[in-house]
Structure 1
Amino acid sequence: MTTVDQNTTHSAEAAALGFWYQALYALLTLVEQTTDDAAIGIEKLDDIELQADGKQLLYQLKHSISTAPPPITIKSKSLWKTIKVWVDALPKLTLAETTLHLVTVGGIAKSDPLQILTSAGEDRVDLAKAMTLEAERVLFERSQAAEQGNKLPHSERISGCQAFLELTEIDRLNMLRRTRIRPESPTVPQIEQEVAANLHILPAHQRDTVACRLVEWWDRQMVYSLCGQREGIISRTELQSQVSTIVADIEQDKLVPELETVSHPTDYQPDGMLFRQIDLVKGTRGDLAKAIREEWRAREQRARWTVSNPALVSKINDYDLLLKEYWSDLHLEMVDNSADQAEEEKQASGLNLLRWTHNDAPTTIRPISEGWNAAYYIRGSYQVLAINLQVGWHPDYEELLEDSE
């Protein structure tokens, strides 16, 4: 990979993680609320907009994929980019009813004037003066560079600095009085743990499972919102309702289809036996694509169930026996009818059996659990069984694949 490719990949990863962090932090923020009228939106006036108790809270989020993110200072690009966003939003705000939050996974440099923003009650006069001097320095150095014909510095800070200086002194101070910095905030991998820790009302043994399912549900809501399939604001009432649904499912030992709308990773490589089984009956690219997708979903679902509840292993195994029985009746009939058939006819019969697992089996065989209505588990489980050579599509699959056992 070239240097350009590495930089592009790094940038794409950072952007993707940045948006995911934004979504997850919104979930954590809403979970932390205690007022019934709380509601949160993504990418409204700010990265996150929270309404609670008749007040408005705007959050600008600064995530980093670095293992040791640099501390924020009065000179940081992230600070001045945030200032620009907030100044632009001021005409739409009632500042006395608004709090502006800058959330960063890094810390604040020691002795930096920004330290004052970690506390709500500290005076901001000295900070306003320091930021004014810094903004003026940025503009002066750009002006000086322009006069000398040099490259203009501070390109990522200039907009914020200009916007800050265009405010009156009292407006600068008033904005800073409504500003908070949240340093050393949880990173993407830590947020799910923080969500679980805030589910105080639940028994301790349920919190991790509920948090995991809550994050998955939240991710779907974010996608639906981006696609225009739902309103972009989620209320605390809706969140509480989802928590109650998840808890009810756990207590009833109800199996939940968690992966019905989830695609397998783009780099997923299934076992080679899946390809060989389908190749024996000359399956198409479409047959193969469906098999890979559903096999991943079923395998991932099995893993999640057994991790969350090891007692489900026997339920899964018993259901596999049922799937094999249905398959066996059809396969034996196919074998009996293929005794005098040419290879092309055997392949055609086997392809029909493969497609039966996708098209007909989900509506023919009872679901693994009462209330289960997702087809991917049966479809994918047949592929899992085929990989293990417990079922097959060709009449002679065992003989043809015996070298692979």
Structure 2
Amino acid sequence: MEGAESNTVHEATAAALGFYYQSQFALLTLVSQTADDAAVAIERLDDVELKANGQTLLYQLKHSIQENPPPVTLACVALWKTIKVWIDAIPLVSLADTTFHLVSVGSVPSDSPLMALCDTQADREPLLQAMLEEANRVIEERAADQAACVKPRHASRVKGCEAFRALDASTRSSLLRRIRIQHGNVTVGQIPEALSKYLHILPKEQRFQAAERLLEWWDQQVIYTLCGKRDRVIQRSEMEHSISSIIAHLDDEKLVADFDMVSHPDDYKADGMLYRQIALVQGRPSDISRAVREQWRAAKQRSKWIVDKPQMRSKIAGYDAKLAEHWSDLHARMAEDCEHLSPSEVESKGLDLLRWTHDLAPKEVEPIAPSWSGHYYVRGTYQVLAIDLQVGWHADYLKLLKD
């Protein structure tokens, strides 16, 4: 019983991996296409159905978890089951615009007539005759067994053989011309690596991680297609959008604090508005020197990001808005508290707000990216915003600096 339980688990594993292989192979097929209209569906007309450039490509997949996968031969059950599936699909497609692909982890023996299906230029007439002979043999041997009242052989292949023999000669030849065999293919465990090779837009060290994230997104889409939560067909444009999102997230995670502990040039002078803003709240020399240093670092960092990663422009703008919102909440409350205070007390409140940007803001405002650790960016960006009068330290800074 222990052995039987083990075999049952093994069979379930093979079946589960077989379906997962279909899903991942569909993504690998889609990412290899260049046509903008490329799209795939799973478990519709075939295991995988690809439409691209007005053509339909149907794929039957034969996966194996064996160390030495079984070869694809004329006596192979998988071959004749596949033939039956394709013959059943003929009324549903335009044969002239459809190609049929048998994708196998196992290989076709070099001396097999099926090698003709691995070469689009090969003569397929000898293969046609060999397949008819095999179909006739299977059907005749099964009939003989039935006549002898013994258990008929070839139960798994006979329907495919009968369907192939029943085709008229023209359709049979046309079908065979449209069949391709892709043998010796990658296994389910090798697909992430194979997928990463198509992500040329990314640096080499990021490709495998991006491939794994793309597969996570893809798995969810496939599940949704099968349970009716979305269209059965997944478009190439959807995949491209997902890749763009993955690239953006990977960029976020790899933001480096390039100017941490880097000093500005000795002769550097910030925009005059920075000094005027601090003067309004009677900032000390230490407040000024710190503001100038962090403004220089933040400005250099922003410039470098935009040059190296142009897509960072929108992220920088969004983060500016976040910083301005945090400042606005504090500034509005401060302005209310200053209504009945003396000018010197108002300046003191403003100086506290300036120093908040240096001391507490880097801790209270979430960083621009999860991995970001450069506190100078928050401190310095507040000074960048102050130069543009988007933020200020004095309760009436806009009125006082309107000239």
Q: TM-score normalized by structure 2?
A: 0.63
Q: Which has the larger radius of gyration?
A: 2
Over the aligned positions, Cα root-mean-square deviation in angstroms equals: 2.0
Q: Secondary structure at the match of 1:75?
A: coil
The residue correspondences of 1:87-106 to structure 2 (distance < 5 A) are 87-106=87-106
How far apart, CA to CA, are the structure 2 residues paired with 1:198 and 1:254?
21
Distance between the aligned counterparts of 1:33 and 1:169, measured in 2? 34
Query: Structure 1 residue 138: deviation in Å?
Result: 0.2
Task: Note the C-alpha offset of 1:205.
Answer: 2.1
Alpha carbons of structure 1 residues 369 and 83: separation in structure 2 relative to 1, 3 Å = farther
* 1:148 aligned partner: 148
Matched residues in 1 for 2:228 and 2:53: separation?
28
Superposition map of 1:195-206 within 5 A: 195-206=195-206
Give 1:175's aligned residue.
175
Paired residues of 2:114 and 2:127 also in contact (CA < 8 A): yes
1:79 aligns with 79
Within a 5 Å distance, the mapping from 1:5-404 to structure 2 comes to 5-253=5-253
Q: Distance in 2 between matches of 1:368 and 1:226?
A: 39
Residue equivalent to 1:384: none
Structure 2 Cα separation of the partners of residues 113 and 105 of structure 1 = 18
Task: Give the residue type in structure 2 aligned to 1:153.
Answer: R
Distance 1:170 1:223 in 2: 40
Distance change >3 Å, CA 167–CA 367, structure 1 → 2:
farther
Provide the secondary structure at the position in 1 that maps to 2:46: coil
CA distance in 1, matches of 2:203, 2:94: 40
Cα displacement (A) at 1:254: 8.2
| Structure 1 residue 224, shift from structure 2 partner | 1.8
In the TM superposition, what is the alpha-carbon distance from 1:73 to its structure 2 partner?
Answer: 0.3
CA distance in 1 between partners of 2:116 and 2:140 (Å): 26
The 1:38–1:209 alpha-carbon spacing in structure 2 relative to 1, beyond 3 Å, is same
Matches of 1:156 and 1:55, distance apart in 2: 31
What whole-Å deviation, never above 9, does each CA across 1:81-114 have from its counterpart, x for those lacking one? 0000000000011111111000000101221100
Partners in 2 of 1:123 and 1:94 — Cα distance? 23
Question: Within 2, Cα distance between the matches of 1:367 and 1:187?
Answer: 46
CA offsets, 1:179-226, max 9 Å, x none?
Answer: 000000100110110000111232222211110100111111112222
Matched position secondary structure for 2:30: helix
Instruction: Say whether the 8 Å CA contact 1:254–1:369 is kept in structure 2.
Output: no
245-254 vs 9-18, which moves further: 245-254
Give the Cα separation in 1 of the matches to 2:369 and 2:174.
56
Residue deviations 1:357-380 (CA, integer Å, cap 9, x gap): xxxxxxxxx9986699xxxxxxxx
Give the secondary structure class of the aligned counterpart of 2:170: helix
State the distance in 2 between where 1:367 and 1:182 align.
Answer: 55
Query: In the alignment, does 2:36 pair up with 1:3?
Result: no
Residue 22 of structure 2 aligns with an amino acid whose one-letter code is Q
Unaligned runs of 5+ in 2: 256-363, 371-403
Preserved contact between residue 253 and residue 369 of structure 2 (Cα < 8 Å):
no
Give CA deviations for 1:306-335 in whole Å, capped at 9, x if unaligned: xxxxxxxxxxxxxxxxxxxxxxxxxxxxxx
AA in 2 matched with 1:112: S
Local SS of the residue matching 1:252 = helix
Pair 151,248 (structure 1): closer, same or farther in 2 beyond 3 Å: same
Count of paired positions: 263
CA distance in 1, matches of 2:28, 2:229: 23
Change in CA separation of 1:371 and 1:199 when aligned onto 2, cut-off 3 Å: closer
Structure 1, residues 259-311: CA drift from partner, whole Å, max 9, x if none? Answer: xxxxxxxxxxxxxxxxxxxxxxxxxxxxxxxxxxxxxxxxxxxxxxxxxxxxx
What residue in structure 2 maps to residue 306 of structure 1? none
Change (3 A) 1:369 1:20: farther
Q: 1:367 & 1:208 partners in 2: Cα distance?
A: 32
For the Cα contact (< 8 Å) 2:252–2:369, is it kept in 1?
A: no
